[in-house]
Chain A
Amino acid sequence: DADVTQTPRNRITKTGKRIMLECSQTKGHDRMYWYRQDPGLGLRLIYYSFDVKDINKGEISDGYSVSRQAQAKFSLSLESAIPNQTALYFCATSGGAEETQYFGPGTRLLVL
């Protein structure tokens, strides 16, 4: 079984709709992250969390919110989706001395 899972894997929604992307991990890591990936822009950090009570904004948090429901679960919400939020979204955890990041398989989101 995968260490980091994301649901859904693909989502099509309309402008103005609220949607939630979910992430679960079995690695036992405290640190979790949400990134978006756009062609030519690599991965950009949206939010990150060091534990259930510690949530921090990343470089592109506007238009997004997160919830850390448990050590293993970190969800990302788009309160009112807009077309330029169309992207590939990745959840990741990190741990170990080298802070290796372990990524989920991604959620492909299309906002019409």
Chain B
Amino acid sequence: TQLLKQSPQFLSIQEGENLTVYCNSSSVFSSLQWYRQEPGEGPVLLVTVVTGGEVKKLKRLTFQFGDARKDSSLHITAAQTGDTGLYLCAGVYTNAGKSTFGDGTTLTVKP
């Protein structure tokens, strides 16, 4: 059973379009992280959100943490081909010292 459910699982769009990826759970997390993974490599952290309702922006990427700290979204504005990759959310249990990962969203941005 996946504690963190991401949607959609696959997304294929044209360059310049906007998109949103969702990460939902019934669990409350200390914080939530988003990672991006390219083929042949390990995931790399994009952002950590800590406070319920928090919004963080990283250039064209906007991350939001739900008020109840159970869910999150990633919005990409004007997608570029370089955004192609697997996006993973991870709920962090700080006291337990571990994280649980979502099932991933594979994004393909076509030129």
Contact = CB atoms under 8 A, between A and B. Distances in A.
A45 B9 CA distance: 20
A89 to B, nearest CB: 10
Interface stretch (A12-20, A70-78, A79-87, A99-107): A99-107
A98 B50 contact: yes
A20 B10 CA distance: 33
A43 B97 contact: no
Contact of B92 (A92, A99, A105, A106): A99
Contacts of B90: 43, 101
Interface in A55-97: 58, 90, 92, 94
20 contacts: A31-B97, A40-B104, A42-B88, A42-B101, A43-B43, A43-B90, A45-B98, A50-B97, A90-B42, A98-B31, A98-B48, A98-B92, A99-B31, A100-B33, A100-B45, A101-B35, A101-B43, A101-B90, A105-B41, A105-B42
